[in-house]
Amino acid sequence: MLSAFTPSLRGIIVGLIGFLSFAAADTCAKWLGMRYETASVIFWTYLICLILGLIASPFLGGIKATLKTPKLPIHIARGVCSIGIAACVIKAMSMGLPQASLYTILFLAPFLTALLAWPLYKEPVPAKHWGIIALGFAGTLIALRPGIEPISLEELYAFAALGFVVILGLLARPLDARESLHSLSFYPALITLIIVTPFLFDQGLSLPESMHHWFIYVLGAICVLMGLSGIAHGFRIAPYSLVAPLQYSEMVFAVLAGYILFNDQLDLWTYIGSALIILSGIWLVVKGKHH
């Protein structure tokens, strides 16, 4: 069905699915991080993600094509970034960083990604796309209204996660169509498991305490699988300046999830900011149809 659309519009659609999936995965991780150690949350989430990816592999290009990749160093680097994001985000939230502050920092990523893609991939950002990026970021600032205070340790973890997010996105472009869709999630999940496992010898591995907790782990793993694949595939078929601003959609999801699951209270500014983010997303889709 997506084949009927332009590459840019396909990139926007799968990228949006990817970013929303990651927002859902962050929500699962926040819920689990309040109950389990960081290493255990990462281990179970990415182990299940790896297993689900292997099951779905025949529909994502096949395991044989995935293992024959000529771009293993890039996949390994993406795996390091993936665990860096997971560890830093969970650590920051477990130390008490408000989700509003976390997303304010992470939402510097669309600007930085689009800016760095210019010299790296000779991909200048059209003026109209800078407007979309600015509108989405303005909506984020209005909704979250971060305070001006000295940088705390948990905020430093959030800035480290920001760096990993930007690098992860920029590493998607070299993975062209010859790389299977399965490879976009397989290697990050595998590398994450290899890196996190030694930490379990110190912390110990906590088993999920109930079927309900298992369900949250499986849901988070599905979202990670869709997030890794969707965002990377969007970046490799569409301009960064079109796909990167879609990350602002995560804030809308986070606000809704926070209100429903964590009893976070919404105010008028949150609604106004969210409306601006939605407007920037619609604007982006309209521009993508003609790109």
What pLDDT, on the 0 to 100 scale, is given for residue 33? 83
Model-level pTM greater than 0.85?
no
pLDDT mean values, one per 10 residues, the chain (291 residues): 71 90 87 86 94 94 91 92 86 75 76 82 75 75 65 84 91 86 92 88 85 95 94 87 78 73 68 72 59 53
17 close to 226: Cβ distance less than 8 angstroms: yes
Outline where the chain has alpha helix (H): 7-33, 38-56, 63-67, 72-94, 99-106, 109-121, 127-144, 153-170, 183-203, 211-237, 240-243, 249-261, 268-289
d(CA 208, CA 201): 17
User: pLDDT tens digit string along 131-159?
Assistant: 777 777 777 777 666 665 566 788 789 88
What pLDDT, on the 0 to 100 scale, is given for residue 72? 92
What pLDDT, on the 0 to 100 scale, is given for residue 148? 55
* Domain spans in the chain, listed from the N-terminal domain onward: 7-289
Amino acid identity at 3: S
For every residue of 3-58, which 3-state class applies, written as one string? HHCCHHHHHHHHHHHHHHHHHHHHHHHHHHHCCCCHHHHHHHHHHHHHHHHHHHHH
User: pLDDT tens digit string along 102-120?
Assistant: 777 787 787 778 778 888 8
What pLDDT, on the 0 to 100 scale, is given for residue 186? 94
276's tokens: 């601006």
**Mean pLDDT of the residues in the chain:** 82
